[in-house]
Structure formats: structure tokens, C-alpha cells
Structure 1
């Protein structure tokens, strides 16, 4: 594919002495095998494989410190790798170097149910954590769909289907343990629920995508499992009507736990993939949490709002197995849509806008997609103004990539004009770098660059992501 990427000439030379030192220190936990390297040089974006020169499988913070010190000594790039589920080229080794795989750092360090917190190693996934704490009556709500690692979720400031009620990783990370470029171990704060002691180092590293340091432990907030949960599906004639219903429900103060939009193509995809039979029109998937009485009240209010906006077939899913089937289908939408065009790659993008502008932004984006000629869908966590566009392109057709990129540029330009952001949850990676200046301005971007230069003077931490070095 002729996707834009840094030229091969920008790959840094990796000294043989560094590779020898890694192999000596880590044995079979270090690899230069091509298959292993390729696996760590490709994500869910349409970019071609950009493989590192070596891969190290870390099992402790001490392992991360050792690799960081070696890479810093030799000025060699160091790229953290979690579950490999990123969408914007976030961990591709565009300058070569060492991929540090933290998936084996999967220990639950401590659970403090009385404080509603858990501390885990960076490779623990959200499903693993929820399985471990199920018997405590608590749960971790951040749900990006993929079974992502918590270190990666913190690094990209992830969110997901529950963000409208529980917030994003920004609100739910209490503390981090981070290894800096020169091998120092930083604990960003303690477990107290609030602090006024100095700079907020936790928020500095949340969303930094591995460009300032490598997260090795994460302390997150937990929440009581709701007493009652109910879900519903509602069909609409248009996406516009569906989004209007969400805006009105939120403006009325209904505490929605989840509200997800699928356009007609998204519904078609999940029907075929998950063997369900939803009506193939735009739909909203709702979930309500609380006491039985409050859940019933919330649902009745939302049902009335959707009816006034042309909502049809407001159907309940009160049984746990029915809800799980519904949300599993929603989480599989990305892979379901891929099946509509076998052999295609997905060019996936997201923006977030103030909710008052959401219907307009989706409407205009839908009009752009309607003339594209390739399969696409719009799916959104519309309760917080965030939606995703998935475009299925032929990896051997540069014209389709160019058209998809043109639509992406129009979408981001539209979102920024509405006082929104170029990415609500995917992160910047490679794909959104071109929009950072427009979003933050020269001075804002310059301050970010100053921080990068200060914390990583040799530019080894996931270089070439978020913004350019100079």
C-alpha cells in the first residue's frame, strides 16, 4: 500500500552491541526473528508493516529499566507494545529500534475494595481485571471494545461505551509507575482520592502514547456493580433522528450508562457476523444502571424521547444473557464490518465534538461517505459526542487510500471548526499528527515538544508519534 510512512532512510542504525546485550540479558525473552518483529510492527491501521529490529518481552519494571538504559545509551528507539489493538499507527517502528512487549506483565499487584482501587501491571487487560474482582461486587467500567491492556489504555487515554457515565481513562487512572528514557522509575502520585501536591504527573503520562516514558503499573478506580441493569434497542429512520434523541436525553439529565449508535451498514454487518436479526436501519443501543426504580424511570423517559423523534421497536434486553449478546455484537462491529469486503483493510478514524454539534457533524460526514464508492459505516459513543468512521479500502489501490484520507481530513477539519478534537479516543499515533498544529496552535504544540525534549533528550521513546521532533 502507498500509505504515507517515514522513508526507510529514517530508520536508525541499531548497533550489534545493543542486540548482543539484549540477548545476553533476556535470553529467549529477546527475539530478532522476522515473524516476531513483523507481529510487533503492525496494528489495526491500514499502514504497512514497520517492524522493529528486536523485540523484548518484559516481565517486571526492572526489565523495562534495563532495556531503557541500554536503548538510551545507544540512542536507539524504544516502543512499548501491549495488546496490539491500536488503530492509528501508534506503536509502529517507523525509525526501527526495540519493541518492548509488556503482555507478560500481567499480574494483579493489589486490590483495595474498601478504597475502590486496584493496582495492576501494565499488561493486565480490562477483561482480566474484571474477572479478578467479580466477587468483590466491583467492576472497572472503561470498555474500548478490544480487550486492551490497561497500560495501553492509559497511554492512549482510551474510553469506550461506558464513558458517558463513568468517564475515560483520564478520570479513572489514580496513579502510575513509569520508567523514563534514562531508566528512572517514577511513581506519579499516591492512592489518595485527591492531592494538591505539585504538578499532576499522572495526567502528563496519560495520553502520552509512550513518547515520554513507559507505563509499568496502573492504579485505577473501581465502581460498585449496579443493583439493576437494563438495555434497550431502538430503530430510527435516520441517523439524525437517533442523535437528536441522545442529545435531548442528556440535556434532560438522564444518567445513561451507555448509548451507542450504529448506522444501517453497521447493523447489517453485526447481523451477519453475530447471527442476530436487528432491523437494518440506524439504531441506538441503550443501557441503564441504578436501582430497579431508577432504571425503570430512566428507561421510560428515554422511550418517550425516542418516540417523539420517530423511534421504532423500542425493545428491552433485561436478561443478562440477552444484554451480553447485544453488547458482544456491538464490540465485534469492527471485525464484522471488515467481513463485508474480504481482503480489505480498514481505515478507521474518530473525532469528538460538543454534543450540540454532533448531529450536524455526523450528517455532513455521512454525505461525504455516500459518494465514496467503498463500504463504510459510522458507529459512535454518541453520549459524549464521539463517533468513529470505518472505511474499507483495497490495500493495493492508492486511489482508495487517497480518497479515505481526503474524507478523514474533511471530517477532522469539520470537527475542529465545531470546537471539537481530531481524536476522541484512538490517540494521535501517525495518522492524526498532521492535525495537531491546527488543534493546539504553535505555542501549545511547542510546549508539548519542550516536554518531550526535556524528558527524552535522545528521542528514543516511540519517536515520530504525536508530533515531529523538531
Structure 2
């Protein structure tokens, strides 16, 4: 047993007429098999699976419009599905309905290299997108670790390791096309870099977690590949020393591309999983982008700051294959950490605080975790004040799940007290719903709910997520 999901309020059987209509339109691309439904009814969250009644595999924007229209006609919930890498229960069919799998909508529709933009379908993953851009001299920098779909990254306003320099999905989505709950199609934004024409509907959909519509096309901002890239790791005597190095780096305006924090327990897991021999101490992973001279200047300044806080000599990864191995180890940290406690599930949480409060937040959180009986490694994109805790629990022991949620609540409440947010990049989904009003206030959440019900008055689009309607 995992973490119980919220009760399935209002769940009813799938109308036979809807299933007949879907099969008539899509044939074998409609599945009601237990295996397919189970695959689409679980994610990387700690919740019990919540299975949809049927799964439809879309191949085009017109397929999406047809499915949405049929679900609207029959009053049936619909949950968009990308790569399945959600950590907060976004994909769970808490009220049944249809899971709409967009993974086959994975084409690059156009590359406009002169304008530094690309337009894609939502099912393409970030790695596949950058493979398609390989010969253009451009790349898409948002890197949440998992090989997530661009549609899912847009829906959750993802960020990741490069956000400190290149921003999040919020800054890198220029426009999109979405199918609304009644089947209408709306286009937002343009390929222009800015606009003051009306409400910013693009930003409304970025981070909406599938609750306002199904995204079928996304135009993204691209960036030139840097002339020079250097990566390094540096171990520190304490978490506070490592984080203070980051704070000073950011406050001095060093245009660092990546700076990741990994605590000693997470380093131990990475060493075992990736066959590495890193010092088991609080560690920063750095990456520097720019010209040869610019990178050299960044490196010298950051090395000086690290030395002032007890940082050991930098270990450099200058060859592309060495950098790839280093960052692969960091990206695989989640799966490495799961191996610290065989058979466990992770109650994963993330928060983000103003950079000036980051050291306080991380050090106080570390004290909390040390008092727990559970393994709780910490990693973080600390360049923008964001860190993650993986609380490893035995899913057969309810007392461990309860302890994990108590830890999660203390971490979130600390972040909110310091002027931060309950989630920096995972999204709200099911797991962070109870914190949304604490963060934004009742009036703001009521405003969000009003927008949701204006676009989806019957609450059919991914219902039960973000807030209750």
C-alpha cells in the first residue's frame, strides 16, 4: 500500500455510448485493459494508483479535439498524459474518466533558427527535442532531470538545473495552442519576443496542470550553444558553507549556468548507483557557459568564493563525455536515492525561498531530517533557491507515511514563513493542495477557482487537482 489518494468523489462508470464513440473514431488506439489503465493511473508520487476507465492514444491535434468534445458531450473527466514522470499525483484519475496519452504527438513542427524559436507537439521529450536541434547551433535549456515531455513541462511550469541562467518554462514558452473543455481551440502568444496585447493567456496555461485544457502545440524560445562549457564539483565542510557559496555567487551576479547542491547522503547513493568515488560530503555541482574568457573569469571568481567557505579543490570535467557522466549521475540521483532503502517509496517534496534565506532554510531543514528515523537525502537547484527532499518510506508502514507528511509540512511551512513557495517546480497536483491557500490567501485561490470554472464549468479537465471545485 502506498499513500492513500483522496476519495474518488463523484466517480461514475464510463458511459457505454462514449466508449462506443471513441472506439468508432480511434479503433485500437482506445484501451480498457488493466495493464494500460494501470500504467496511466500511477506516477512517481507516493499515492495509490487511481486508474482511468479508458486510455486513448492521440496522434494529432484533431484527435485531441475529438476526444475532448466527446468527453464534454458525455460529461466525462479527461486527464492529459505525457511521460508519466509527475511527482505530485497530477496524472491520477481520482474521478475516473479518460486518460488522453499525448506521447505519440512528438513532432517538431518548425524550427525558426533566425528567430531562435521552435514549435513542437506536446509529446516530444526534452532530449528528443535537443537531438532534433543538434545541427542548428541552438538548444532548449530547461532540464528538470527526468526526460519529461514538453507538454508536461509546460503544464507544470517546470524548471531544473539550468534555470538559474536560462529561466523556467514560464520564460521560455512564447505561445501555445490548447483545446478547451468544450472542444474549442485557443491559440495564445506569437513568435514575437514580447507583446502587450490583452491578457497573457500563455502564462495562464503554463502551470495549469491540465485543469484548463489540453495543450496541443507549443512555441519555445531557443538559446545559442555556448562557445565554452566547463563543469566541476566541490565538496564543503557543511551544508551551510556550500549554500552560502551559492548565495554569494548569485548576489555578485556571476552568470553561472548550473549550480546544484547534493548532501552527503545523496552523494553516498550516487556513488553506489553510478559507480563513482565522490567525497561523501555536502557537494556543489557547477557548470559554466560562455566564451573562453568569460568562463575562465567565472571559474576564478567562484573558486575564490568556495575557498572562503572551506570548499575543497574543484574536480573538473572538461571533456564532453566527462560532463555527461557527471550530470547523468546528478540526474539519476532520484533513482539512486531509492536504493538507499530497498522496496521504499519516496515522499518527495520541493520548496523554493528567496536566495537570501536559502542557507537558513536548508540548515534548519537538515536539522529536522537528522531528527527523523527515515533516510531523507537533499538535492537542489540552489542557484534559484529551490531544493528537494526525498523522504524514503516503507509503503507497508502507515506510521512512516505519517512521519513523512509531518516532515513535508514542516519544510513547506518553513519555506512559506521565509517568503517562499510550497513548490518551486513539481507543481501542486494532489500533494500540495492543502498548502495553496496558506501561500496565496483565500481571495487568490478563489480567483483561480473562478478562472477554472469559467473555462471548465463542469470541472471535467483533470478534476481534483490544484484546488477543490
Q: Is TM-score (shorter-chain normalized) higher than 0.5?
A: yes
1:104-123 → structure 2 map (5 Å cutoff): 104-123=104-123
Over 3 Å counting, the alpha-carbon distance change for 1:462 and 1:368 in structure 2 is: same
Name the CA distance, whole Å, in 1 between partners of 2:275 and 2:2: 36
SS at match of 1:134: coil
CA offsets 1:34-63 (integer angstroms, 9 cap, x no match): 110000000001101100000000011100
C-alpha displacement of 1:10: 3.5
Instruction: Please report how far the alpha carbon of residue 2 of structure 1 lies from its aligned counterpart in structure 2 after TM superposition.
Output: 6.0
1:339 maps to what in 2?
339
Aligned: 1:427 with 2:427: yes
Please give the alpha-carbon distance, in whole angstroms, between the structure 1 residues aligned to 2:57 and 2:395: 31
Helix, strand or coil for the counterpart of 2:114?
coil
Conserved 8 A contact 1:46-1:345: yes
Q: Secondary structure at the match of 2:346?
A: strand
| Structure 2 partner of 1:19 | 19
Q: Distance in 2 between matches of 1:462 and 1:381?
A: 29
Structure 2: gaps (5+ residues): none
- Kindly indicate whether the alpha-carbon contact (under 8 Å) linking 2:4 and 2:48 is maintained by their aligned counterparts in 1: no
Distance in 2 between the 1:166 and 1:407 partners? 31
Question: What is the alpha-carbon distance in structure 1 between the residues aligned to residue 355 and residue 294 of structure 2?
Answer: 24
Residue 282 to residue 396, structure 1, CA distance change in 2 (3 Å): same
* Partners of 1:75 and 1:459 within 8 A in 2: no
Residue 268 of structure 1 aligns with which residue? 268
The equivalent residue for 2:297 is: 297
Map 1:54-453 → 2, pairs under 5 A: 54-453=54-453
| Distance (whole Å) between structure 1 residues aligned to residue 9 and residue 421 of structure 2 | 32
**Residues in 2 aligned to 1:249 and 1:2: alpha-carbon distance in whole angstroms:** 41
The question of whether the paired residues in 1 share the 8 Å contact of 2:226 and 2:291 is answered with yes
The CA RMSD measured in Å over matched residues stands at 0.8
Q: CA deviation at 1:341?
A: 1.1
- 1:460 paired to 2:460: yes
Distance in 2 between residues matched to 1:196 and 1:305, nearest whole Å: 41
Worse-superposed segment, 366-375 or 110-119: 366-375
8 Å contact from structure 2 (residues 235, 279) kept in 1: yes
Q: How far apart are residue 7 of structure 1 and its match?
A: 2.1
Question: CA 1:136 to 1:69, structure 2 compared with 1: closer, same or farther past 3 Å?
Answer: same
- 1:33 maps to 33
Structure 1's consecutive aligned runs of 4 or more residues displaced over 3 angstroms after TM superposition are none
After TM superposition, the score normalised by the length of structure 2 is: 0.99
- Equivalent pairs counted in the alignment come to 469
* Structure 2 residue matching 1:364: 3-state secondary structure: helix
Sort the Cα spacing of 1:9 and 1:439 in 2 relative to 1 into closer, same or farther, 3 A: closer
CA distance in 1, matches of 2:424, 2:16: 41
Q: CA deviation at 1:8?
A: 4.1
Give the distance between the partners of 1:88 and 1:125, measured in 2 at CA: 19
